[in-house]
Structure 1
């Protein structure tokens, strides 16, 4: 794919993201508009945790079983989770954070890596005195979530990965080809750039921030062996027009007990969903479909037998 086409696709992605972040979940989600998602919630707790040399910004909403949400590349809490927090916080404790260099968490003289960000999330849970939590990650945050479960298994009860991968070639080849073309100019005027500036970062470092974040996907990684050993049940969801290869998601699902008729063999503890009519960016707008599936997975008795006639 030539550079002009790749650049065009990137611009289209950024424009789509800008629209998605500024509008509520309307035409992209089936069914009636969810009025709860439009309500503005204030965190019951917020602050900075001293974690691995970072002052890591976090917010906590609601009460109940804890779930930590891990955002995607270049995102912030409001950009990634503004429509999702109110839906999950109705009956559980929702912990959201901003990863190294993102939002209100300032960058430090340390490379950005999936492993390092996973250790930061684990450190935040310790700071909050939470022994174990459900972990949900989107896109880059999905990779971080996989690493939290690999590196800190005792802290993960159940794992939800939305549009994330556990190998670099889990993405379609055209997606991998795009990563090396990312520049700060492509984000000019978008909510990503505006929030980077407005949340206290130095605008002069925006180009460095863009390059540093994308660097994690410019080098090969393959956690297949370790991810397949994760003991926590996994719910992996991708869009049918996502950047993640179907085979990538299916390989993990089969390794976790899928690929068999549940009526004969019982249901696997892990789950897989391919959301129709859904792109990578559109995934986080599918709240009317995703939230019921996520909460059902988190609340289900995974040892129960399948329904019978």
Structure 2
């Protein structure tokens, strides 16, 4: 019998299946607000294509206009699986850039090991391809690791950094979560939207098992970017759930290094922020749009040099 934590990605597949079942809006009505704000439909992208970066043809889509924000998906995800309910909420006021990382979705795999650093270099190349000098960067789970590396390796391209349920060291996960990664295999995804999108968006179905192994490989070897991440200059907003896979202490350690851990009424507010969402799991984080989107917008739009309010 499988231990409960080995069903982690099976549960994720069930959650994303709900998102994937939302039907795309017809082109002639795309972009119009739904009468139900909780079920807004995907707008039509303003631009799609492939960026030639580091030997990879990186698939991307661009929505909306305004200050650019890059969304970096989690393991095994695609643009529709990870972002179909997020893009409609951000695109009305921002230029939303989304990409599918190496081997995911419409981005074909290449003979290169999976690595957070390499994927961050790919995102950097995408921004250059789009002639975007600097952008806000938001990463979820695996994408959080990519986002951390973007800010470490390409700091001039990152204006503000948002990490949702991501880690900057392998032991940032609860020990049982980290231990579960060795048990993740392709059979856990058979018949799920994750496998169906892998098969239908252009990658070779015969290599699905190899793909799963490659994705998991980045979390089966130790990594620790603590020193480099603590030196990131970009303001940071980190959010985890109170029932997440990320240890509270891991998030708190970084927040303290970024100026947190002091009473703001006495010392002033730090430029960076931390949120621990109640009743929220790692997978459930992406369903908390009613909480996350207002916090994200406020963080991105805030004058972080302003003094705290006085009473």
Quickly name the TM-score band, shorter chain normalised: over 0.9
Report 1:72-221 matches (<5 A). 72-221=74-223
Alignment partners' CA distance in 2, 1:229 and 1:185:
40
Residues 230-282 of structure 1 show CA distances to partners (whole Å, capped at 9, x for unaligned) of 00000000011110000000000000000000000000000000011111011
Question: Which residue of 1 is the match for residue 44 of structure 2?
Answer: 42
Question: Which residue of 1 is the match for residue 28 of structure 2?
Answer: none
Alignment partners' CA distance in 2, 1:230 and 1:271:
14
Alignment partners' CA distance in 2, 1:198 and 1:177:
31
Question: Which residue of 1 is the match for residue 309 of structure 2?
Answer: 307
Question: Which residue of 1 is the match for residue 60 of structure 2?
Answer: 58
Per the alignment, in what secondary structure is the counterpart of residue 79 of structure 1? Answer: helix
Q: 1:74 to 1:88 in 2, by over 3 A?
A: same
Per the alignment, in what secondary structure is the counterpart of residue 218 of structure 2? Answer: helix
Alignment partners' CA distance in 2, 1:281 and 1:302:
30
Query: 8 Å contact 1:37–1:87 — kept in the other structure?
Result: no
Alignment partners' CA distance in 2, 1:163 and 1:239:
7
Shift of 1:4: 3.9
Query: 8 Å contact 1:17–1:281 — kept in the other structure?
Result: no
Shift of 1:200: 1.3
Query: 8 Å contact 2:19–2:84 — kept in the other structure?
Result: no
Alignment partners' CA distance in 1, 2:245 and 2:94:
30
Alignment partners' CA distance in 2, 1:8 and 1:81:
22
Per the alignment, in what secondary structure is the counterpart of residue 187 of structure 2? Answer: helix
Normalised by the length of structure 2, the TM-score is 0.93
Question: Which residue of 2 is the match for residue 15 of structure 1?
Answer: 14
Shift of 1:23: 6.4
Residues 147-166 of structure 1 show CA distances to partners (whole Å, capped at 9, x for unaligned) of 00000000000000000000
Question: Which residue of 1 is the match for residue 261 of structure 2?
Answer: 259
Q: 1:57 to 1:8 in 2, by over 3 A?
A: closer
Shift of 1:179: 0.4
Alignment partners' CA distance in 2, 1:36 and 1:20:
12
Structure 2: which 5+ residue stretches go unaligned?
24-34
Question: Which residue of 2 is the match for residue 29 of structure 1?
Answer: none
Q: 1:242 to 1:22 in 2, by over 3 A?
A: farther
Query: 8 Å contact 1:43–1:59 — kept in the other structure?
Result: yes
Shift of 1:189: 1.0
Question: Which residue of 1 is the match for residue 243 of structure 2?
Answer: 241
Question: Which residue of 2 is the match for residue 30 of structure 1?
Answer: none
Structure 1: which 5+ residue stretches go unaligned?
25-32
* 1:229 aligned to which of 228, 231, 236: 231
Greater relative CO, 1 or 2 (CA 8 Å, sep 6+): 1
Deviating above 3 A after TM superposition, structure 1's stretches of 4 or more consecutive aligned residues are 2-24
Shift of 1:202: 1.0
Alignment partners' CA distance in 2, 1:37 and 1:129:
32
Per the alignment, in what secondary structure is the counterpart of residue 180 of structure 1? Answer: helix
Query: 8 Å contact 2:124–2:157 — kept in the other structure?
Result: yes
Between the two proteins, the alignment pairs up a number of residues equal to: 300
Q: 1:279 to 1:93 in 2, by over 3 A?
A: same
Per the alignment, in what secondary structure is the counterpart of residue 95 of structure 1? Answer: strand
